[in-house]
């Protein structure tokens, strides 16, 4: 078998020195510079690198040992496709440690990778049992009084026992962290005196963001930040929690042509980035540049980075930002058979991780929901939009005109796993269901604001989406009106209930479980303060909502009928699928009019599991989408002797309600609400 010519890129070192390998197809000369341990601007060694036939430049230096600071200098042709500058010091794209110079430049350093994992292992949570919790490393614990001050907002704070206890009680199984690969703030934001809080501006694909480490780790020498990060992963794994990283491989922090040149652009702009015929960047990301994953070296860079995090840092999965950009070929067309997408699926380590695509970018044909190959799950924006419309905009329209825009049919498709979007081969677990994410309104703000309120971002309220499908229920923002508050809180319960009781992989945005607000800001990417940090001191209604969320995650865990692995086939028995029966308010099979009529927005969904690994289970989910209460007749079905009420979104607490019913009994369903029964 022929050895991969792009193997072993980066630094391989020991106590006696090391070797570096860097790819550049266009450079005419590359040079390694090693710097003094105490004076980072003092060059102690200069080593010319030699090129092989594959464009890999290599060289060795005695000083290239763990802790050594180093950089690269590149020479090459001039022209619209190139940005070579012999006076600029560049980062090794594979650098596993980074440090700043007094002047603000970046240098790589040779990492000390040793770590005691203590026998911990990846939890390996099955996808159907997975409940994702999208969180910001800093924002999650920055205000938590149970975490020691020095640890708040850090990797160590995320792994603190109080944080782990909270996550366990909430019922989530995986923490999906917003970007934690080293990132920087764009120059535009720096000029405005703001920061990139979310982190979608990656400087380097192999290093943890140092600002999220404790001060002790930041000043703790070689490997200290990485050890704290690995320590976080180890403690979360020991608690049975998975760690999924939101990764940004579609663009880098080098921005547009006038942006900072720190690494790839200076090494080989022509090959690392996409260009048009004139040499201008083809930007399908909206961030100034797009990595050219049609190039083998770029594919290798992404794969090696993923393998590093999955193998050496023990990460359980990845959510790929704007992943369509990674699947564009040499003609800038998306293809699900792209070599990079296939290579991830074929990799023996990566194929065992959770792979989640954000299935769009800003280029031509950039919306590709349902278009990724089997093995990937995808953010399902159709789920998000339909759930918001049903519970919010349709209710607003009913109030205004007396009738909603649509019936209940489109919502039922989302609840059942979006088989109209994802193929039979991929099944319902291809859908990552979500109602909110980091970008957009929180669940609280969806029910409290009709319009975005982003003036604090400094862009005249022009930034952020105007298509929020939100409804303020009669007042914009804060109010003391009890009727409005009651309607809003019920709406949040319905949003969370639909999310956690639907087929697919649910994702909760941190803070939605108790009703966190961003005061109407739906694009808080440049905010870093109490507006976006989670509060840990909750009002009584927030504690009630938190308990509702905990109840919903428990019900999902305990009822496999809610979380099928496969789509069923008509007339066949499919293991780990759900057998579905649909009834109207009278307990009769749904007619076409029942599905489509905007006046008939009520259904009863009877779902039975087809056991493969768990005991048989059957549930009845009632969904009512009008503000007028209705009485439903619980359906008669073969094998069903009774129904036990487990949850009703009309109430914070159902302990005082009757719980046991028989087929044919009537149940009074409150305004815009959901009910879950277990059938027996």
Catalytic residue among 358, 378, 528, 648: 358
Q: Which residue, among 90, 108, 99, has the nearest Cα to 29 in the 3D structure?
A: 90
Asked if 350 and 302 touch (Cβ cutoff 8 Å), the reply is: no
- How far is the C-alpha of 577 from the C-alpha of 370, rounded, in Å? 19
What span, in angstroms and rounded, lies between the C-alpha atoms of 49 and 500?
55
The catalytic residue among 255, 304, 316, 321 is: 321
Task: For residue 69, give the nearest of 33, 93, 123, 104 by alpha carbon.
Answer: 33
Q: Are 537 and 546 in contact (CB under 8 A)?
A: no
Segments in 4-58 forming alpha helices (H): none
Residues forming a β-bridge with 661: 643
Q: Which residue has the tokens 């909502």?
A: 545
Tokens of 36: 């003094």
Backbone angles phi, psi at 446, to 5 degrees: -60, -35
The answer to whether residues 130 and 112 touch, using CB atoms and an 8 Å cutoff, is no
Active site residue 358: yes
User: Which 3-state string (H, E, C) describes 642-669?
Assistant: CEEEEEECCCCCCCCCCCEECCCCEEEE
Q: Phi, psi at residue 500, to the nearest 5°?
A: -90, -10
Which residues are within 8 A (CB) of 457 and not within 5 positions of it... i.e. 6 or more apart? Answer: 194, 463, 464, 521, 523, 524, 525, 526, 527
Is position 542 annotated as part of the catalytic site?
Answer: no
HEC readout, 604-639? EEEEEECCCCCCCCEEEEEEECCCCCEEEECCCCCC
Place of tokens 């309220």: 461
In whole angstroms, how far apart are CA 495 and each of 331, 415, 593, 619, 670?
41, 12, 25, 19, 16
Rounded CA Rg of the chain = 27
Q: Which of 433, 676, 426 is nearest to 559 (CA)?
A: 676
Looking at residue 145, what DSSP letter applies? T
Structure tokens at 447: 């029910």
Query: What's the CA gap between 275 and 290, in Å, rounded?
Result: 9
Q: Which of 271, 251, 268, 244 is nearest to 325 (CA)?
A: 251
Residues 550, 171 contacting (CB under 8 angstroms): yes
**Which contacts of 646-649 are long-range, i.e. CB under 8 A and separated by 24 or more positions?**
646/555, 646/676, 646/677, 646/678, 647/497, 647/551, 647/552, 647/555, 647/674, 647/675, 647/676, 648/673, 648/674, 648/675, 648/676, 649/490, 649/493, 649/494, 649/497, 649/548, 649/673, 649/674, 649/675
* β 174-177/132-135 pair status: parallel
- Catalytic residue ranges: 321, 358
């Amino acid at each position: 078998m022929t050895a991969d010519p792009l193997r072993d890129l980066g630094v391989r070192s020991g106590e006696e020195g090391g070797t570096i390998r860097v790819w550049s197809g266009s450079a005419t000369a590359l040079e390694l510079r090693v710097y003094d341990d105490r004076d980072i601007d003092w060059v102690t060694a200069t080593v010319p690198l030699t090129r092989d036939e594959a464009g890999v430049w290599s060289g060795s230096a005695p000083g290239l040992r763990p802790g050594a600071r180093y950089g690269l200098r590149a020479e090459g042709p001039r022209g619209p496709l190139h940005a070579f500058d012999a006076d600029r010091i560049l980062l090794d794209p594979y650098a596993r440690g980074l440090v700043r110079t007094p002047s603000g430049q970046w240098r790589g350093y040779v990492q000390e990778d040793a770590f005691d994992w203590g026998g911990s292992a990846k939890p390996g949570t099955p996808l159907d049992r997975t409940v994702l919790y999208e969180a910001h490393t800093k924002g999650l614990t920055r205000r938590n009084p149970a975490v020691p001050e020095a640890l708040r907002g850090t990797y160590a704070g995320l792994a603190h026992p109080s944080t782990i206890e909270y996550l366990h009680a909430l019922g989530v199984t995986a923490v999906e962290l917003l970007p934690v690969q080293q990132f920087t703030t764009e120059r535009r934001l720096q000029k405005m005196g703001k920061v990139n809080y979310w982190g979608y501006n990656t400087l380097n694909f192999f290093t943890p963001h140092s600002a999220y480490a404790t001060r002790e780790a930041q000043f703790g020498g070689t490997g200290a930040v990485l050890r704290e990060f690995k320590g976080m992963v180890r403690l979360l794994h020991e608690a049975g929690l998975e760690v999924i990283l939101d990764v940004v491989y579609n663009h880098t922090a080098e921005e547009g042509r006038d942006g900072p040149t720190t690494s790839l652009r200076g090494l080989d702009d022509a090959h690392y980035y996409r260009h048009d015929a004139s040499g201008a960047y083809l930007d399908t990301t909206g961030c100034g540049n797009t990595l050219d994953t049609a190039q083998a070296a770029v594919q290798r860079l992404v794969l090696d980075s993923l393998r590093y995090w999955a193998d050496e840092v023990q990460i359980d999965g990845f959510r790929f930002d704007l992943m369509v950009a990674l699947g564009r070929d040499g003609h800038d067309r998306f293809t699900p058979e792209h070599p990079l997408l296939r290579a991830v699926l074929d990799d023996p380590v990566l194929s065992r991780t959770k792979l989640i695509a954000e299935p769009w970018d800003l280029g031509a044909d950039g919306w590709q929901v349902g278009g990724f190959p089997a093995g990937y799950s995808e953010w399902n924006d159709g789920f998000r939009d339909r759930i918001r419309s049903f519970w919010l905009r349709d209710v607003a329209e009913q109030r205004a005109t007396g009738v909603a825009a649509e019936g209940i049919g489109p919502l039922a498709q989302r609840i059942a796993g979006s088989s109209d979007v994802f193929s039979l081969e991929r099944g319902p677990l291809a859908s990552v269901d979500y109602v909110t994410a980091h970008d957009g309104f929180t669940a609280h703000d969806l029910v409290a604001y009709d319009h975005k309120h982003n003036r604090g971002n400094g862009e005249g309220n022009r930034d952020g989406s105007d298509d929020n499908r939100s409804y303020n229920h009669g007042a914009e923002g804060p109010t003391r009106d009890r009727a409005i508050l009651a309607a809003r809180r019920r709406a949040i319960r319905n949003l969370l209930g639909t999310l956690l009781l639907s087929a697919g992989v649910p994702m909760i945005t941190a803070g939605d479980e108790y009703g966190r607000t961003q005061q109407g800001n739906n694009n808080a990417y440049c905010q870093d303060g109490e507006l976006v940090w989670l509060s840990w001191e909750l009002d009584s209604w927030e504690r009630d909502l938190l308990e509702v969320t905990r109840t919903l995650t428990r019900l999902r865990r305990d009822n496999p009928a809610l979380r099928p692995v496969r789509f069923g086939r008509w007339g066949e028995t499919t293991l780990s699928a759900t057998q579905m029966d649909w009834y109207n308010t009278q307990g009769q099979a749904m007619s076409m009019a029942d599905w489509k009529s905007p006046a008939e927005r009520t259904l009863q969904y009877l779902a039975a599991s087809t056991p493969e690994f768990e005991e048989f289970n059957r549930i009845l989910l009632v969904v009512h989408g009008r503000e007028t209460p209705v009485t439903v007749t619980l359906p008669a079905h073969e094998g069903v002797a009774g129904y036990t009420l487990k949850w009703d979104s009309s109430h914070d607490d159902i302990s005082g309600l009757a719980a046991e019913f028989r087929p044919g009994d009537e149940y009074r369903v409150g305004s815009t609400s959901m009910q879950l029964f277990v059938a027996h």
